[in-house]
Amino acid sequence: MEKRKCDIVVAVAGNPNVGKSTLFNVLTGKIAHVANWPGVTVERKEGEKTYKGRRICFVDLPGTYGISATSLEEVIAREYIISEEPDVVLVLIDGTAPERTLYLPVQILELTPSVVIAITKSDLIHRTGIHIHVDKLEEKLGVPVVEVSAIQGSGLRELMDAIIAVAEGRRRRKEILKINYRGLEPFISEIEKAVRKYEVLPEYPPRWLAIRLLEGDPRLEEIIKKRGREDFLKKIKNIIDAVKHSIGKEPVELITTARFNFVDSIAREVVVRISVEEKEGVFEKMIKHEIASLFISSLLLISVFSIIFTLNSGFPLNLIFRWLGWDFVAEILETYSIIGLMNRAFNFIAELSVSFLTELNIPYWLISLVSDGVISGVGSILSFLPLIILTFLLLSLLEDSGIAARLAYSYNSLLNKFGLSGRAIYPLVISFGCNVPGVLSSRAALEEEERIQIIISTPFVPCQARLIVILAFVTAYFSSNIIQALVMFAIYLIALGIAMLTSLIIRKFFFGKSEPPIFLLEIPPIHKPSLKVVWWLTWDYSKHFLKKAGVIILSLSMITWFLLNYGPAGIASSPKESFAAIIGNLLTPLLSLYGIPEEKAWMIGFALFQGLIAKEGLIESIAMLQGGNINVKEALLALQLSPVQAFSLLLLFTLYVPCIPTIASIKQEISENKLMLVAVGFMLTIAIMLSLLVNTLLSFLWVGLR
């Protein structure tokens, strides 16, 4: 393969039967070139793929267990890495035998730092009760590790991203892997010095060469002899004798033990095996039943997520208590929920900082920035964390016990109608509580296209915060209980319908696929989940959220704070003078299309802006703009909307962009700015177009009825 024609050259290495050929074919689409390796009859396959504007060429190295050059295949693989210097060596680990296949990447890492590791057969790993902590393995080896399934096509995008990141030096190790060979280290250093001094085999990394010569490598010794450097070999022999004399052991024994201990300690930390039984229980039999499975799955999902959301904020149990007239119980539930306690803690911290900074005579704008911008931003990030931890704790428990696959199986045929697989049920159900973990759990998708469908469609599912807005508007503008219930039902139905239609449209028109994702996943046997694995999964998800989405939420919170508190004349003395109000005013022409007068339209525009931080803030800001001393119902009624306007605006509030944390989560999951902006633009367009259409239609109907 001509290196100059490729932007990135990737050598693919792996044990025999690791799934190398399948992955190679899936990555490259087709093999561009098949020939023999120079001078031998071992087949050499090459292929290429254009990804993110880069032409990436793949060279399939022969299947080897190591690079000790004990077979022709090992010699070819080793010499290619050394002489051709590919930009990246993609080393495969068999996910069903990680302990056995971990040695090859370790040996290659001792030779080159430009490595990406792919764990193959991810579709089979769980079925066999094996769990691999990918993040921990990455941390231990210092190179990207990606779980892939060539059959399902999962993990391929992440793999390609990792290859580019290593090739471009963003995620590459600074140097080769250095295993501590303990007592041998002084001898390794001595040989390294000799390698440099004698200038033998300058193309090989000196440390790697020193270790190989200590271990005994006939091929290297032969090359050295051919170059007429017997003097150097004599020096090496003397050093080996010195090792035997001083330590009393063969160097090969010490090296083998050290390498084994290194790999074994990593395997013990990153691999968990759980014994699984294939026996079918009552639950398994019921879940396979066509009708019973949907009922059981729905009951299980609703119960479990209701417990989580109740622990988090009191919802939905608080609503049930209020409906029963037990307001005091609902209040206790809300006050002592995780969010309730966190809000109190952050309010306390904000008050404390305000009084502390005031005493120090700090300017007002800085005090406001700290209390309303920074503390509130950090509070916003942390307020999502318990829900994310709880959600992923539950998802991990379901996943690791084998129940998740069964529940997904129950919903598969229903969701297939919308271009989704049964696994999309998790993000959809979670989104009723909060869109942030809903978007994050799009990782449950079977394929990349389905993941994008979920990310863009689930934010239309009305979350708990939007329910507060819906309830407030419904109770203010619709007096009859039946009409209230019908309006709520209609809003939920429309929102869910839009979410499902969005998914279908994206699949058909954006990805050009007419078939739903193939549910190839084999149903793993039900088993007791491993707490260690559950914690790995939960913490990994939460950590990614804090790292990526957290930064975006904090930055956007600060920007929003600025827009709400500042205006063209500096610090805004009233909300009307703020930049947010100016933006709200810009929305006046749009809101006039709903028949809303200018003096009320800017308030709704301002509230729409405020609602970006959290949807419930939308109601609070309307109340604040009406003077603040009236209750929510009175404040909403003061907008003097007709029932048709109230319904149309409710649709607009429900469907327009959920909130900043959800946008941050979309950004985290999509990682492409362009696609993220398209997603946000799509939500805004749908919300405006649909609510205006409904407003027009209902207005005609309303006039007709009157």
Partner 1 sequence: MTFETILAVLKVLDEFKMIDLYILSKKLKISVEEAESILGLLLSHGYIRRKEVSISCSNCPLKSSCLVFGRGMVSVYIITKKGRSLLEKLSKS
Identify which of 658, 652, 651, 567 has the alpha carbon closest to the alpha carbon of residue 613.
Answer: 658
Out of 51, 80, 103, 418, which residue is the one contacting partner 1 (CB under 8 A)?
Answer: 103
* Orientation angle between helical segments 464-477 and 643-655, nearest 10 degrees: 180
The contact mask relative to partner 1 for 68-97 (x = CB under 8 A, - = no) is x-xx--x----------------------x
The contact mask relative to partner 1 for 188-227 (x = CB under 8 A, - = no) is ---------------------------x------------
Out of 36, 238, 256, 592, which residue is the one contacting partner 1 (CB under 8 A)?
Answer: 256
Out of 36, 238, 246, 257, which residue is the one contacting partner 1 (CB under 8 A)?
Answer: 257
Shortest distance (Å) from residue 115 CB to partner 1: 15
Out of 40, 252, 551, 630, which residue is the one contacting partner 1 (CB under 8 A)?
Answer: 252
CA 469-305-292 angle, to 5 degrees, is 115
How far apart CA 53 and CA 674 sit, in angstroms, is 15
Out of 186, 222, 260, 413, which residue is the one contacting partner 1 (CB under 8 A)?
Answer: 260
Shortest distance (Å) from residue 73 CB to partner 1: 11
Shortest distance (Å) from residue 110 CB to partner 1: 11
Give exposure, 11-33, as e/b (b: 16+ Cβ within 10 Å): bbbbbeebbbbebbebbbeeeee
Shortest distance (Å) from residue 283 CB to partner 1: 27
| Nearer residue to partner 1 within complex by CB, 13 or 676 | 13
Stretch in the footprint of partner 1 (CB under 8 A) among 34-42, 259-267, 456-464, 547-555: 259-267
Beta bridge partners of 448: none
How far apart CA 279 and CA 496 sit, in angstroms, is 38
For residue 333, the one-letter residue type is: L
Shortest distance (Å) from residue 103 CB to partner 1: 4
CA 659-321-295 angle, to 5 degrees, is 75
Out of 102, 117, 243, 407, which residue is the one contacting partner 1 (CB under 8 A)?
Answer: 102
Binding to partner 1 by residue 273, rule CB under 8 A? yes
The 8-class DSSP code of residue 545 comes to: I
Shortest distance (Å) from residue 250 CB to partner 1: 6
Shortest distance (Å) from residue 100 CB to partner 1: 4
Instruction: Count other Cβ atoms within 10 Å, centred on residue 139.
Output: 12
How far apart CA 121 and CA 22 sit, in angstroms, is 10
Identify which of 88, 83, 7, 5 has the alpha carbon closest to the alpha carbon of residue 38.
Answer: 83
CB-CB contact of 149 with 122 (8 Å): yes
Determine the 3-state secondary structure of 640 from DSSP: coil
CB-CB contact of 94 with 19 (8 Å): yes
Binding to partner 1 by residue 284, rule CB under 8 A? no
Shortest distance (Å) from residue 66 CB to partner 1: 3
Binding to partner 1 by residue 173, rule CB under 8 A? no
Out of 89, 91, 104, 301, which residue is the one contacting partner 1 (CB under 8 A)?
Answer: 104
Binding to partner 1 by residue 267, rule CB under 8 A? yes
Identify which of 430, 666, 438, 412 has the alpha carbon closest to the alpha carbon of residue 517.
Answer: 412
- Structure-token match 């990436």, residue found: 56
Binding residues for partner 1, rule: CB under 8 A, are 15-17, 65-66, 68, 70-71, 74, 97, 99-104, 107, 215, 244, 249-250, 252-253, 256-257, 259-261, 263-264, 267, 271, 273
